[in-house]
Amino acid sequence: MYTFPHSTRWLLKPPSGVQINWGNPLTNGLVFFSIPDKDHPNNLVAPNSLGTLLSSTSYTGTTRLGSGAISTNSTSGGLYYPWTPFMNTLTNYVTILVWLIPTSIPAYGIILCVPYAAGPSVSPYTCVGLQQYASSTSGLLNVGLSGTSRTATSNAGFIQTSDTLTCYACTVNTISGAVIFYRNGILWTSTSLSGTGSITWTNQQPVTLLNQSNSAPNTGIAGTTPYAAMWNRVLSSQEMEQLFIDPYSIMQSQVLGKQYFLTPNIAGQQQLSLFGCGY
């Protein structure tokens, strides 16, 4: 089994299979959740869906690791999940969070993307996506509003190749244009979208990890990812920190019937709460 370097937090995964704990406040507004693991029934996408590897002759080098993560050594690799009605609720507020070990970062390389159309070259390119900006190490949020790409860029150094899992995240309010980038639970940049409006879902394309399209290879970031999620609301800085401290805090064990999550106490410290749960 593959072990993530310097990432003991992954030992917090509940045993004997996991599922989303909808009683946890952090699941409020959750519309997409990916743990490409045989023990995880992804009931947000499809029953027991692990996602589809981009493994045709044109999508090379994508493998599913024993830990449940996926890894690709090619910028034309990746994973995708089918469109679901949950995505229609992403209209004015979006949060994207992906844990990733980036090993190769091309210009405009995609971390997570919902394409606008089946082909990667149809404007506005993405309905919503987190990626690298040009050839720098800045992060780029790309949002398609009324058929036009609107963008926001983080400070340089946001995305870097590494042998350590990094938590990349951003939030956007498409009405005000406010965008915040987070790295490892800490605010990285506060900035503004280049325009305002509402996301439109004309073509209802699959959600794609580490690639821009499920139909044609295009500028994906090569690396390893065990975890990705999207919400239809703007998560707070406290919630971002909480998800960095314990990525599995919104999960519960199927067999043990236990739910657990970290909650802040009055002093602002994190405390572990355990609750029994029946089925």
CATH (domain of 134):
2.60.120.200
In the predicted model, is pLDDT for residue 141 greater than 50?
yes
Residue 92 lies in a domain: yes
SS3 for 44?
coil
Number of domains in the chain: 1
**Do the bridges between strand 178-183 and strand 166-173 make them parallel or antiparallel, or are there none, so unpaired?**
antiparallel
pLDDT of residue 195: 94
Distance, in Å, from the CA atom of 188 to the CA atom of 130, rounded to the nearest integer, reads 14
Residue 173 lies in a domain: yes
Average pLDDT over residues 171-184: 97
Q: Which residue has the tokens 């070990």?
A: 101
Q: What is the mean pLDDT of the chain?
A: 79
- For residue 37, give the amino acid letter: D
- For residue 93, give the amino acid letter: Y
pLDDT of residue 57: 47
For the stretch 12-67, pLDDT in tens is 666 656 678 888 999 999 988 887 665 554 555 554 455 666 654 455 567 767 66
For the stretch 79-105, pLDDT in tens is 888 887 788 889 899 999 999 999 888
Distance, in Å, from the CA atom of 226 to the CA atom of 34, rounded to the nearest integer, reads 8
pLDDT of residue 211: 82
Q: pLDDT confidence of 246, banded at 50, 70, 90?
A: confident
Strand partners, 129: 113, 142
pLDDT of residue 173: 97
Q: pLDDT confidence of 278, banded at 50, 70, 90?
A: very low
**Would you say 14 and 256 are in contact if contact means Cβ atoms under 8 Å apart?**
yes
Residue 1 lies in a domain: no
Structural domain boundaries enclosing 71:
8-276
**Would you say 54 and 77 are in contact if contact means Cβ atoms under 8 Å apart?**
yes
Residue 225 lies in a domain: yes
Q: What percent of the chain has pLDDT over 90?
A: 35
Distance, in Å, from the CA atom of 90 to the CA atom of 180, rounded to the nearest integer, reads 17
What's the predicted TM-score (pTM) here? 0.83
> Which are the contacts of 270, defined by CB distance < 8 A and separation ≥ 6?
242, 245, 262, 263, 264
Residue 2 lies in a domain: no
Q: What percent of the chain has pLDDT over 70?
A: 71
Q: How far does CA 124 lie from the centroid of its chain?
A: 20
Residue 33 lies in a domain: yes
**Would you say 169 and 158 are in contact if contact means Cβ atoms under 8 Å apart?**
no
**Do the bridges between strand 30-34 and strand 52-53 make them parallel or antiparallel, or are there none, so unpaired?**
unpaired
Distance, in Å, from the CA atom of 21 to the CA atom of 27, rounded to the nearest integer, reads 7
Beta-strand ranges (E) seen in the chain are: 18-20, 30-34, 52-53, 62-64, 70-72, 79-81, 93-104, 110-115, 126-132, 139-145, 148-153, 166-173, 178-183, 186-192, 207-209, 222-231, 251-253, 258-264, 270-276
pLDDT of residue 202: 82
**Of the given ranges (1-15, 87-101, 133-147, 151-165), which has the lowest mean pLDDT?**
1-15
